A and B are shown apart, each in its own frame.
Chain A
Amino acid sequence: MSEYLVNLKVNNIAVSVKEGTTILDASKKLNFNIPTLCNHPDLSVAGNCRVCVVEVKGARLLAASCATPVSEGMEVFTNSEKVRTARKHVIELLLSEHNADCTKCFKNGHCELQDLASEYRVGDHVFIDLVKSKDKILDISSPSISKDDSKCIRCQRCVRTCEELQSVSALAVVKKGDHQRISTFMNKPLDEVVCTNCGQCINRCPTGSLTERTYLDEVWNAINDPSKHVVVQTAPAVRIGLGEDLGYEPGERVTGKMVAALRHIGFDSVLDTDFTADLTIMEEGTELLTRLKRALVDGEKVALPMMTSCSPGWIKFQEHMFPDLLDNLSTCKSPQQMFGALVKTYYAKKKGIDPKNMVSVSIMPCTAKKFECGRPEMRDSGYQDVDYVLTTRELAMMVKQAGIDFMKLDDEKYDSIMGNSTGAAVIFGATGGVMEAALRTAYEIVTGREVPFTNLKIMPVRGFEGIKEAKVMIKDVKPEWAFLEGAELSVAIAHGLHNANELMKAVRAGTASYHFIEVMGCPGGCLGGGGQPIPTSPEIRQKRATAIYAEDEGLPLRKSHENPEVAQIYKDFLGEPLGHKSHDLLHTHYKERKRY
């Protein structure tokens, strides 16, 4: 975009902005807020809700401020009578086709439409009630996503999310006029289409139309059942997101308070997915080194580049879109599922609990994990390894329901065992984090030295660039790794399935020569997961990332292989990475899925 400045007036106040700026942004610069619904900072401009219209002097039509660039000499009025009338009409029209049962709605209190309605005090309905049925028009076929068409305002944010950010296009606009709606391929239920359960559409839906499938009642029931031992694990990104739903600004680290709250809520064991994140590094790092050895020393044909498998949305994407590359996926389960398999075996044994009486709950920044825990492969403990998955948002609801004054809580520590972790596990929550953690450990295993980056910060793999690449020179290796002497390890990182799709196309075409690829299904990695607090934007995700790296730097241990509990579990239970027991409990396989 050019640096050329355009002069205009908004509500009679002069302002100069860069060419190409929208009227909406120019007005914001002068602190004139214009309401929006279909506009979203992560998405292309739609200009379809028309709630942001403004008056431009001399123009016959009102202009959609989100979609109209400024021009020299323009005079804009954001609050003229014409504008107010039109805006009110738009809101009234939206409400006239909306099943507004706010008190029963999952989004009550977090809804952009509700906010607008209350700001504009749209009282008695002027227009005819067009709601066809006062019932929800529900698709709850998916274990992750709930879709209620009776609350949809057709802003198409979800459609753009699924197409632009995720390259999945599971959602599409169908039909015209009063029959127009958001649907799937052939109007099939969500669990029968290519939907990856990533939940990114939920994060950008302004209303209660798209929400997670909630399992709050099931979890409360388990907690209330004295015969059950309820174990909870919390994913890395939850601790830097949860605060946003409980009164904090984005970027607040609330690990200790979260642990305290979970105890207050009544979980019997409060444990940390970060523990199995460290374990993942041991397993996946060993898997990578093994694959490299088989390829370089034994001359075997092994699938390279190896790709991470922590992100179940990404896994399902790959199963649908690139089934020819399934062998490239690491066989490691996601940290959640490793945890689930261990909690009902290792933990149960150590603590003397009958796994039959255990309920395993996980708090995830992710909606795809709700799907993942129900995959038939995920029962290696002899039971369903993880029983219920709640999102960060659902946990915030639980905290409120329990009447906990979150901000006033004192910090508490996780239970042990399976509650200890390192900074390497925490950064799993940011794009590039798994890669950084893996490099910190693998480099040290192979060379006996720390990675050659100041303070262990591997900057080339950090940040929000869509696809990142890095090369690490391996020199002066330990004798047993002689085959890697002088090798240059080449890695790539993608976040958000659109970027993953681009990277996979290159891999499939053979134009990308990497050894190891990290993919996270959500923009920004898990910190931007489909279960994280709403709203989301590049700025919010940046703050969460900053918090994650601060958490890492604040921890005494920052390399997975230094986690004492990890050493202990190999000694007491698993044997060695990729060993027999690991194979049974921590690794999995994938299956091809149809696109249609």
Chain B
Amino acid sequence: MENKILKKVDYIFQETSVSEVIDIIIKTLAKSPDDIILDVIDSGLKGRGGAGFPTGLKWKFTKNEDNPVKYVICNADEGEPGTFKDREILETVACKVLGGMTICGYSIGAKEGYIYLRGEYNYLLPQLNKVIDEFNKQLKSKGIDFVIFIKSGSGAYICGEESALFESMEGKRGEPRNKPPYPAVSGYNSKPTVINNVETLVYVTMICKMGVERFKALGTKDSRGSKVFSVSGDTPTPGIFELELGMPLADFVEDFGDGDTKAVQVGGASGHCVPRKQLKDTIIGFEGIPTGGSMMIFNSSRSMYNVLHDYLEFFNEESCGQCTPCRVGCQQLLKGIESVKKGERKPLYLDELKKLASTMKIAAKCGLGQSVANPFNSIVDNFREEIIY
């Protein structure tokens, strides 16, 4: 594993204007769709929405589908507790997101793009609509056949899951679909669809602007480039930071911790909890612990029981409820740690619950239920006494 030292970067929030982005688009669209996709593959860019799927491949699969109607969707549902980077991006540099969508649309053969905006971010609508109108107008005047729309989300966390998002956009209840088929084959309105995170799309614009090599120069082999982190919890410097990928978590804590860090929750509620003793050996990146961007720091005053309890309550509430492992499993995990805490069940019951969490990881229908085991098993393994006593 390569080790990088912590490095702050400034690509995402670099100021720009609609016309500058349009210029980047025009320059990029001089290439063939295939060449652009090859560039994106070559850049090593992976999705910043959590799952970390290689963006270029996703585009390629969608391009290969033979269908006159395709869509580009920007996932701006940002519901992971402790994450607020997409909001910041949309507030400050929305036109770069639109740029990424347009480039994607051209590459895969889509003529329409949609931003699915988290319901709580509706206050951004007037400002975003203005940018989008201006942007659409300029696209049209340059003869680029792509239009961007914005849709307001329903307010449920699960609607950030891509297939639930499509259902929600189609006016149905936001419940995840079976996979396959994947969005590249059947997404929004059952058409081939690329869905990317807000930040992913900004990096597309930046890669097109500065070239593949400069992007690749950052990060590691498996985690190219940089990434925006939302830092919260017991830190003197909460906020949003763009950092190079591949850094050891220890360096991160050195910079952001308050000197008394007990653990870091990487990737929000659905991420892993890394205890102090593992900080040195943990790399932030796709080869280590992937993250949607949330970094929550806990110092020794925190009860990890409470932390886990909060997460489980969150999942219990936000599970769409359709599949058994997640709907009932979340309740069992929550009630289970409560009963161990109260002494109604033996500490060994935690091992039953870990097995259950492992079943949820492989048998739940979507990423929500599948990821509950991440916080559960990592917290129970590392802070077992805090759960019991």
Are B355 and A85 touching (Cβ within 8 A)? Answer: yes
- The residue in chain B whose Cβ has the minimal distance to the Cβ of A61 is B362
- The residue in chain B whose Cβ has the minimal distance to the Cβ of A173 is B173
Q: A50-B364, A126-B352, A173-B173 are in contact. Are A154 and B321 (CB under 8 A)?
A: yes
Q: Of A91-99, A377-385, A495-503, which binds chain B?
A: A91-99
As a 0/1 sequence over residues 30 to 69 of chain A, the CB contacts with chain B under 8 angstroms (1 = contact) are: 0000000000000001111111010000001110100111
- Is B180 close to A, CB under 8 A? yes
Please give, as numbers and ranges, the residues of chain B lying within 8 Å of A45 by CB-CB distance.
Answer: 178
Q: A89-B356, A130-B335 are in contact. Are A48 and B322 (CB under 8 A)?
A: yes
Are B363 and A90 touching (Cβ within 8 A)? Answer: yes
- Is A180 close to B, CB under 8 A? yes
Q: A47-B178, A67-B178, A68-B178 are in contact. Are A178 and B365 (CB under 8 A)?
A: no
Partner of A60, one of B173, B329, B362: B362
Please give, as numbers and ranges, the residues of chain A lying within 8 Å of B355 by CB-CB distance.
Answer: 85, 89
- The residue in chain B whose Cβ has the minimal distance to the Cβ of A159 is B173
As a 0/1 sequence over residues 65 to 86 of chain A, the CB contacts with chain B under 8 angstroms (1 = contact) are: 0011100000000000010011
Please give, as numbers and ranges, the residues of chain A lying within 8 Å of B158 by CB-CB distance.
Answer: 176
Are B328 and A61 touching (Cβ within 8 A)? Answer: no
Please give, as numbers and ranges, the residues of chain A lying within 8 Å of B320 by CB-CB distance.
Answer: 176-177, 180
Partner of B180, one of A68, A82, A93, A127: A68
A8 to B182, CA, bound (A): 21
- The residue in chain B whose Cβ has the minimal distance to the Cβ of A64 is B178
B91 CB, min distance to chain A CBs, angstroms: 28
Please give, as numbers and ranges, the residues of chain A lying within 8 Å of B278 by CB-CB distance.
Answer: none
B375 CB, min distance to chain A CBs, angstroms: 16
- The residue in chain B whose Cβ has the minimal distance to the Cβ of A181 is B321
User: Chain A: how many interface residues by the 8 Å CB criterion?
Assistant: 39
- Is A280 close to B, CB under 8 A? no
Are A93 and B325 touching (Cβ within 8 A)? Answer: yes
Are B322 and A156 touching (Cβ within 8 A)? Answer: yes
Q: 8 Å CB contacts to B: which residues of A396-447?
A: none
B156 CB, min distance to chain A CBs, angstroms: 6
Please give, as numbers and ranges, the residues of chain B lying within 8 Å of A375 by CB-CB distance.
Answer: none
- The residue in chain B whose Cβ has the minimal distance to the Cβ of A156 is B322
- Is A351 close to B, CB under 8 A? no
Are A50 and B363 touching (Cβ within 8 A)? Answer: yes
Please give, as numbers and ranges, the residues of chain A lying within 8 Å of B323 by CB-CB distance.
Answer: 47-50
A188 to B316, CA, bound (A): 26
Q: 8 Å CB contacts to A: which residues of B346-363?
A: 352, 355-356, 359, 362-363
Partner of B328, one of A96, A126, A172, A176: A96
As a 0/1 sequence over residues 508 to 532 of chain A, the CB contacts with chain B under 8 angstroms (1 = contact) are: 0000000000000000000000000
Q: 8 Å CB contacts to A: which residues of B319-352?
A: 319-325, 327-332, 335-336, 339, 345, 352
B170 CB, min distance to chain A CBs, angstroms: 14
Partner of B363, one of A86, A126, A156: A86
Q: A175-B321, A176-B158, A179-B321 are in contact. Are A94 and B363 (CB under 8 A)?
A: no
A138 to B72, CA, bound (A): 46
Please give, as numbers and ranges, the residues of chain B lying within 8 Å of A186 by CB-CB distance.
Answer: none
- Is B318 close to A, CB under 8 A? yes
Are B352 and A176 touching (Cβ within 8 A)? Answer: no
B360 CB, min distance to chain A CBs, angstroms: 8
What's the dominant secondary structure at chain A's contact region? Answer: loop
Are A49 and B339 touching (Cβ within 8 A)? Answer: no
- Is B20 close to A, CB under 8 A? no
Please give, as numbers and ranges, the residues of chain B lying within 8 Å of A96 by CB-CB distance.
Answer: 328, 332
- Is A128 close to B, CB under 8 A? yes
- Is B370 close to A, CB under 8 A? yes
Are B324 and A177 touching (Cβ within 8 A)? Answer: no
As a 0/1 sequence over residues 460 to 493 of chain A, the CB contacts with chain B under 8 angstroms (1 = contact) are: 0000000000000000000000000000000000
A88 CB, min distance to chain B CBs, angstroms: 9
- Is B317 close to A, CB under 8 A? yes
Are A48 and B316 touching (Cβ within 8 A)? Answer: no
Please give, as numbers and ranges, the residues of chain B lying within 8 Å of A154 by CB-CB distance.
Answer: 321-322, 324, 327
A48 to B178, CA, bound (A): 9
Partner of B335, one of A68, A86, A128: A128
Are A64 and B365 touching (Cβ within 8 A)? Answer: yes
Are B156 and A176 touching (Cβ within 8 A)? Answer: yes
A82 to B358, CA, bound (A): 10
Please give, as numbers and ranges, the residues of chain A lying within 8 Å of B345 by CB-CB distance.
Answer: 128
A45 to B180, CA, bound (A): 12
Are A130 and B328 touching (Cβ within 8 A)? Answer: yes
Q: A68-B180, A96-B328, A126-B352 are in contact. Are A178 and B359 (CB under 8 A)?
A: no
Q: Which of B158, B317, B319, B323: most chain A CB closer than 10 A?
A: B323
Q: A50-B364, A85-B359, A177-B319 are in contact. Are A93 and B336 (CB under 8 A)?
A: no
Q: Which of B156, B175, B316, B332: most chain A CB closer than 10 A?
A: B332
Q: 8 Å CB contacts to A: which residues of B287-326?
A: 315-325
As a 0/1 sequence over residues 114 to 138 of chain B, the CB contacts with chain A under 8 angstroms (1 = contact) are: 0000000000000000000000000
Partner of B318, one of A51, A60, A176: A176
Partner of A177, one of B316, B339, B364: B316
Are A128 and B332 touching (Cβ within 8 A)? Answer: yes
Please give, as numbers and ranges, the residues of chain B lying within 8 Å of A153 by CB-CB distance.
Answer: 324
A448 CB, min distance to chain B CBs, angstroms: 55
Partner of B324, one of A94, A175, A179: A94
Q: A48-B365, A85-B355 are in contact. Are A61 and B319 (CB under 8 A)?
A: no
A173 to B325, CA, bound (A): 18
Are B321 and A93 touching (Cβ within 8 A)? Answer: no
A314 to B178, CA, bound (A): 33
Partner of A48, one of B324, B329, B332, B336: B324
Please give, as numbers and ranges, the residues of chain A lying within 8 Å of B336 by CB-CB distance.
Answer: 127-128
Q: A61-B362, A89-B356, A128-B336 are in contact. Are A180 and B324 (CB under 8 A)?
A: no
A111 CB, min distance to chain B CBs, angstroms: 17
Q: A45-B178, A69-B180, A176-B318 are in contact. Are A53 and B332 (CB under 8 A)?
A: no
Are A89 and B363 touching (Cβ within 8 A)? Answer: yes
- The residue in chain B whose Cβ has the minimal distance to the Cβ of A66 is B178
Please give, as numbers and ranges, the residues of chain B lying within 8 Å of A50 by CB-CB distance.
Answer: 323-325, 363-365
B175 CB, min distance to chain A CBs, angstroms: 8
Q: A61-B370, A85-B355 are in contact. Are A178 and B324 (CB under 8 A)?
A: no
B190 CB, min distance to chain A CBs, angstroms: 13
Q: 8 Å CB contacts to B: which residues of A119-139?
A: 126-128, 130
Are B327 and A177 touching (Cβ within 8 A)? Answer: yes
A125 CB, min distance to chain B CBs, angstroms: 11
B312 CB, min distance to chain A CBs, angstroms: 11
- The residue in chain B whose Cβ has the minimal distance to the Cβ of A97 is B328
As a 0/1 sequence over residues 153 to 188 of chain B, the CB contacts with chain A under 8 angstroms (1 = contact) are: 000101000000000000001010010100000000
Please give, as numbers and ranges, the residues of chain B lying within 8 Å of A93 by CB-CB distance.
Answer: 324-325, 328-329, 332, 356
A563 to B324, CA, bound (A): 56
Q: A48-B323, A178-B316 are in contact. Are A130 and B178 (CB under 8 A)?
A: no
Q: A68-B178, A93-B332 are in contact. Are A176 and B364 (CB under 8 A)?
A: no
- The residue in chain B whose Cβ has the minimal distance to the Cβ of A175 is B321
Are B321 and A127 touching (Cβ within 8 A)? Answer: no
Please give, as numbers and ranges, the residues of chain B lying within 8 Å of A175 by CB-CB distance.
Answer: 321
14 further A-B pairs in the complex, CB-CB below 8 A; given A48-B324, A48-B365: A46-B322, A47-B178, A48-B322, A49-B324, A69-B180, A89-B363, A93-B325, A154-B324, A156-B322, A172-B173, A176-B156, A178-B319, A178-B331, A180-B319
Sort A-B residue pairs by CB-CB distance and give the 8 closest, nearest first: A180-B321, A93-B328, A67-B178, A47-B178, A89-B359, A48-B322, A86-B363, A177-B319
A contact residues vs B (CB 8 Å cutoff) = 45-51, 53, 60-62, 64, 67-69, 82, 85-86, 89-90, 93-94, 96-97, 126-128, 130, 153-154, 156, 172-173, 175-180
**Contacts A/B (CB < 8 Å), 22 sampled:** A50-B363, A61-B362, A86-B359, A89-B359, A90-B359, A90-B363, A93-B332, A127-B352, A128-B336, A128-B345, A154-B321, A156-B322, A172-B173, A173-B175, A173-B322, A176-B319, A176-B320, A177-B315, A177-B316, A177-B321, A178-B331, A180-B320
